[in-house]
Amino acid sequence: MKGKKILVVGSGIAGLATSLRLIRRGYEVEILEKNSMAGGRMNLIEENGFKFDTGPTFFSMSYEFDELAADIQKELPFELKELNPLYTVWYDEPGKRYTIYKDLDKLASEFAKVEPGFREKMEAYLETTARLYYDTESLIIKNNFDSLMDYASTLIRVPMVHFPKLFRTFWKEVSRYFKSEDVREILSLVSFFLGGTPFDTPSVFTMLSFTEFVHDGYYNVSGGMYKIVEGFVQMLESNGVKVHYNTEIVDIETNGAELQSLVDQNNRKWTSDIYVINSDAAFFRGKVLKREKYSEENLDRKRWTMAPFTIYLGINQKLPELKMHNYFLRGNFREYSDKIYTSQASLEQAYYYVNVVSRFNRQAAPEGKESIFILCPVPDLRFKSDWSDRGEIADAIITDLSRRTGYDINDKIISKTILSPIEWRDKFNLHRGSGLGLGHSMRQMGYLRPSNRDEKFENLFYTGSSTLPGTGIPMAIISSKLVTERIEKKYGSILTDLH
């Protein structure tokens, strides 16, 4: 493999992590990025002295970053900070609020009134989710599959005790342990992090309750999430990796068996021995490789995760009543969940998440001010294509937030940026504006997800959300490990110390 060159298309977290692993293995790497900044969805908005992380605001499974650090034999260039408490859930009834702790005694006291015996029930629930996690992590999540046969024979090795979970939803599984609707709803929120709802997410994902409450909790990074991107880019650049910004790959050239070059929007050709695509693995196959299986119509038939509607506000006062991570729910959880991804009606009484960015990262707002991020999951562009009402939708959410927190936020806004699914689609090439990529139904997992090895071109590979294993930051790091294993197996490696 000596001297082999790899072009990585996209500088999202998966593209950056893959590049780090590849230079450690002696490859020469260059990155081509559509936008003028690295990071993809994990980006940064700066406006009028306020700073906002564009997408992710916290993550679980921080040990995946430790695994990456061990793999490249370098310390992480950022500092992880564990969240305590995890988050706060606000219901619409006055004063009805729950603080969600990892500590089971504290959590049990939050639910003492609504769920008698909560602690024992939670222990039983977490024991099952722990078993599920340990029995599937290395078999299913951290595994490449070469064929359907390989996948099927791996699935059979999962202990039979977990099989009923394949046929239950997240909600059904949680309901087997808890009677209180509030407890069921709150424990199910993690399925929204996967971009689905508890009513359509398979119960195998209850293993996330284990990662949430026991195994690791949630983490942020000192100075904000974008520190991860800055740190990785700096590490790559100091090891000779060049990132070419404002370079969008729109076409390819091939000799049949192999990809010969990539073509950018200015018709410039980029040639390499090996190619790794961090652009969405399903979208790229359709849009750039023009594969019929991934045509727009065929992609529309797949299950996609939520589209984000995001608001970034600079506020001319402090908001001490708001906690760092807040979920604002109402009393119609089931009805709302059923409509949320397909109906515009759901926006009239939106559920949303609010992160007070400057509570944790003080440099994110000028003295005495606050920067806040609001995320509302909305229908993707298949179900709502016109977002000319984005201003009204944002105003309705901000008015609701003011009413529920007691601050007149509308009067105090000095900076406002809104991203609808249209902007998310256009900026990062996300199919129909879906924020987390392909959904996680049983038919879109493991071997059934778009592979990280191209079906046709031997020297083409994929990393990121819509390929193996799935979406979210820890999965992107695992994805970088899986694709690197593929490349190393085929082309070899010469371990090289990084500066």
Ligand X SMILES: Cc1cc2nc3c(=O)[nH]c(=O)nc-3n(C[C@H](O)[C@H](O)[C@H](O)COP(=O)(O)OP(=O)(O)OC[C@H]3O[C@@H](n4cnc5c(N)ncnc54)[C@H](O)[C@@H]3O)c2cc1C
Residues that bind ligand X (CB under 6 A): 9-15, 32-35, 40-42, 55-59, 248-249, 278-279, 308, 310, 375, 428-429, 435-436, 464-465, 471-473, 476
- CB-nearer residue toward ligand X: 101 or 424: 424
Give CA torsion, residues 201, 202, 206, 208, to 10 deg. Answer: -60
310's enclosing H/E stretch is strand 307-315
- 350 and 396 in contact (C-beta within 8 Å)? yes
308's enclosing H/E stretch is strand 307-315
Q: How far is the CB of 92 from ligand X (least distance, A)?
A: 23
Residue 85: cis peptide before it, omega within 30 degrees of 0: yes
- CB-nearer residue toward ligand X: 122 or 241: 241
Q: Which residues contact 493 (CB under 8 A, 6 or more apart)?
A: 1, 25, 26, 27
Q: How far is the CB of 360 from ligand X (least distance, A)?
A: 13
- 433 and 404 in contact (C-beta within 8 Å)? no
- CB-nearer residue toward ligand X: 13 or 324: 13
Q: How far is the CB of 466 from ligand X (least distance, A)?
A: 8
Distances (CA, A) of 266 to 192, 249, 271: 39, 9, 15
- CB-nearer residue toward ligand X: 33 or 182: 33
Q: How far is the CB of 306 from ligand X (least distance, A)?
A: 9
- 121 and 178 in contact (C-beta within 8 Å)? yes
Whether the CA torsion 276, 277, 278, 282 is positive or negative: it is negative
- CB-nearer residue toward ligand X: 34 or 404: 34
Q: How far is the CB of 406 from ligand X (least distance, A)?
A: 26
Residue 469: cis peptide before it, omega within 30 degrees of 0: yes
Taking the C-alpha atoms of residue 458 and residue 258, their distance in angstroms, rounded to an integer, is: 6
- CB-nearer residue toward ligand X: 12 or 314: 12
- CB-nearer residue toward ligand X: 177 or 373: 373
- CB-nearer residue toward ligand X: 375 or 482: 375
Other C-beta atoms lying within 10 Å of the C-beta of residue 260? 15
Q: How far is the CB of 450 from ligand X (least distance, A)?
A: 12
Taking the C-alpha atoms of residue 178 and residue 201, their distance in angstroms, rounded to an integer, is: 18
Written as one letter, the residue type at 15 is G
Q: How far is the CB of 268 from ligand X (least distance, A)?
A: 12
Taking the C-alpha atoms of residue 200 and residue 238, their distance in angstroms, rounded to an integer, is: 45
Q: How far is the CB of 155 from ligand X (least distance, A)?
A: 24
Q: How far is the CB of 167 from ligand X (least distance, A)?
A: 27
Question: Which of 439, 475, 29 shows the shortest CA–CA distance to 200?
Answer: 439
Taking the C-alpha atoms of residue 237 and residue 365, their distance in angstroms, rounded to an integer, is: 29
Q: List the structure tokens of 468.
A: 């193996």
- CB-nearer residue toward ligand X: 352 or 407: 352
Q: List the structure tokens of 490.
A: 């085929």
